[in-house]
């Protein structure tokens, strides 16, 4: 097939394959957004007199049918067609002739791929936030169920102070609530419409960019046409940074679970069907799920740096370097959601020991509580500290059997309701329903 940019000279096949790269494969994930963007663009072209009413209606009918094929998995990018934009335009031209040829008016593939990616990232962030909400709910349920079971806290890999599994589970839940702040920042970046910026220099066609902004559910425009196109890579990097923060929470959770499952800790266990074995050691129950979560999430943490390296020192203007940004960013959403889902699935089957602190390894874990008892009776903190330290040196220290931690956020006052409220506020701030309503209105015409 003749390329959209071809001017009568065929490209060497090896060069063509190299420059297309993985676009045909990855663009299947962008097809839905390319059709929605084209629908909005056609509505706008009609409003400024480029398309007649009949032409707009014919395009709408074809595009809605095409969207149905995409959603049903019946869309493909044909051999010899280099990307989704070419495939959609080819389909419209074959079906509608000159009307199909008009649909690219006022657009460049540069702003087409940019708007597709903005819409793709918005939807993927919504799915990712929903996945984080599911994991959050599981952690909060576990925090409530195991709130009173004691867990030794560690600093420097040394026994520190008493904690609880409720405190541990809800700490990761609140981490996820904080991660939503960063993810929301990426979502707001993606909520700016680049369509109409063309190749970065605007166009002499009198486009109504505010109209397509509204039709596609964007919050605002990327107003400056050069900014719209010359800042390619910034959205991808900020999104990768947001995923990196979320991946960091998951990786640390996975590391804790892996440690606590080991025989040297032996704090927790899982049903055997959620662990794996060894080919030569029949006693092994390995935490492979959490080790893979840890490995995959640590790899995801490098994605923002990779994007930064690809885009470093590029001058203003579009460069084909940007094409490779899709290759790792687009699959990253599915990977982190899989990690969250499996963490949730396995953690809901956790079994926790109730007698952990009876081990002699934790005989001094109540030292700070003993210091605090003396402080509450009027002894200056530093004097109380020295007195308890002397007891430990003299081996006269007696372990406290109970712990009275009552301030907000301590193991006796987990503030689970407050943490839930925090997560609810941050999830509502996304305003996902706005996009759903915009798409519905666009498709209904």
Range 171-181 average pLDDT: 98
Q: What is the DSSP secondary structure assignment for residue 79, as one 8-state letter?
A: T
Say if CB 348 and CB 138 are below 8 A apart: yes
Which tokens sit at 9?
Answer: 């000279």
Give the pLDDT confidence score for residue 14 in this predicted structure: 66
pTM of the predicted structure, to 2 decimals: 0.92
Architecture of domain 110-204+224-358: Up-down Bundle (1.20)
Using 50, 70 and 90 to split pLDDT, how confident is the model at 5?
Answer: very low
pLDDT at 1 over 60: no
Q: What is the mean pLDDT of the chain?
A: 92
Rounded to whole angstroms, how far apart are CA atoms 132 and 164?
A: 23
User: pLDDT (tens digit, 9 = 90+) per residue, 320-338?
Assistant: 888 889 999 999 999 999 9
pLDDT at 278 over 80: no
Q: Which CATH class is domain 13-105?
A: mainly alpha
What does the CA dihedral 118, 124, 126, 127 come to, rounded to 10 degrees?
A: 170
The mean pLDDT of 53-63, rounded to a whole number, is 97
pLDDT class of 401 with cuts at 50, 70, 90: confident
User: Where do you find CATH 1.20.200.10 in the chain?
Assistant: 110-204+224-358
Give the pLDDT score at 260. Answer: 96
List, by residue range, all CATH 1.10.275.10 domains of the chain: 13-105
The count of other CB atoms within 10 Å of the CB of residue 215 is: 21
Using the 8-state DSSP alphabet, how is residue 155 labeled? E
Among 314-318, 372-376, 439-443, name the one with the lowest average pLDDT: 314-318
Weakest-pLDDT range from 7-11, 47-51, 325-329: 7-11
- 277 has pLDDT over 70: no
């Amino acid at each position: 097939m003749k390329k959209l940019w071809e001017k009568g000279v065929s490209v060497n096949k090896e060069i063509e394959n190299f420059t297309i790269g993985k676009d045909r494969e990855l663009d299947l994930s962008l097809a839905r957004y390319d059709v929605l963007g084209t629908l909005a663009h056609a509505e706008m072209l009609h409003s400024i007199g480029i398309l007649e009413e009949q032409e707009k209606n014919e395009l709408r009918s074809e595009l809605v049918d095409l969207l149905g094929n995409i959603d049903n998995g019946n869309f493909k990018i044909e051999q010899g067609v280099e990307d989704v934009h070419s495939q959609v335009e080819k389909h419209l031209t074959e079906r509608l002739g000159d009307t199909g040829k008009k649909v690219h008016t006022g657009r460049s593939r540069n702003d087409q791929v940019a708007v597709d990616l903005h819409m793709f990232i918005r939807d993927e962030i919504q799915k990712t936030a929903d996945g984080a909400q599911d994991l959050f709910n599981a952690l909060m349920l576990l925090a409530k169920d195991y709130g009173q079971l004691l867990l030794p806290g560690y600093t420097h890999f040394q026994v520190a102070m008493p904690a609880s599994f409720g405190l541990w589970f809800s700490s990761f839940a609140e981490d996820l609530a904080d991660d939503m702040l960063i993810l929301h920042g990426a979502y707001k970046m993606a909520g700016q419409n680049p369509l109409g910026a063309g190749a970065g220099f605007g166009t002499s066609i009198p486009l109504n960019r505010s109209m397509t902004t509204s039709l596609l559910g964007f919050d605002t425009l990327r107003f400056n046409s050069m900014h719209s196109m010359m800042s390619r890579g910034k959205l991808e990097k900020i999104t990768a940074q947001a995923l990196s923060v979320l991946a960091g929470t998951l990786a640390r959770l996975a590391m804790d679970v892996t440690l606590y499952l080991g025989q040297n800790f032996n704090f927790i266990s899982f049903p055997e069907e959620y662990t794996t074995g060894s080919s030569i050691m029949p006693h092994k129950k390995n935490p492979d799920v959490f080790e893979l979560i840890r490995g995959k999430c640590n790899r995801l943490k490098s994605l923002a740096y990779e994007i930064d390296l690809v885009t470093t020192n590029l001058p203003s203007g579009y460069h084909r370097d940007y094409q490779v940004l899709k290759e790792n960013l687009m699959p990253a959403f599915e990977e982190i959601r899989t990690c969250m889902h499996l963490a949730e699935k396995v953690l809901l089957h956790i079994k926790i020991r109730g007698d952990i602190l009876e081990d002699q390894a934790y005989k001094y874990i109540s030292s700070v509580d003993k210091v605090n008892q003396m402080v509450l009776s009027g002894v200056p903190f530093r004097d109380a500290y020295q007195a308890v330290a002397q007891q430990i040196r003299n081996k006269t220290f007696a372990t406290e059997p109970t712990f009275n931690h009552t301030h907000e956020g301590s193991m006796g006052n987990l503030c689970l309701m407050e943490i839930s409220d925090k997560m609810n506020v941050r999830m509502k701030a996304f305003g996902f329903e706005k996009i759903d309503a915009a798409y519905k209105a666009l498709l209904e015409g």
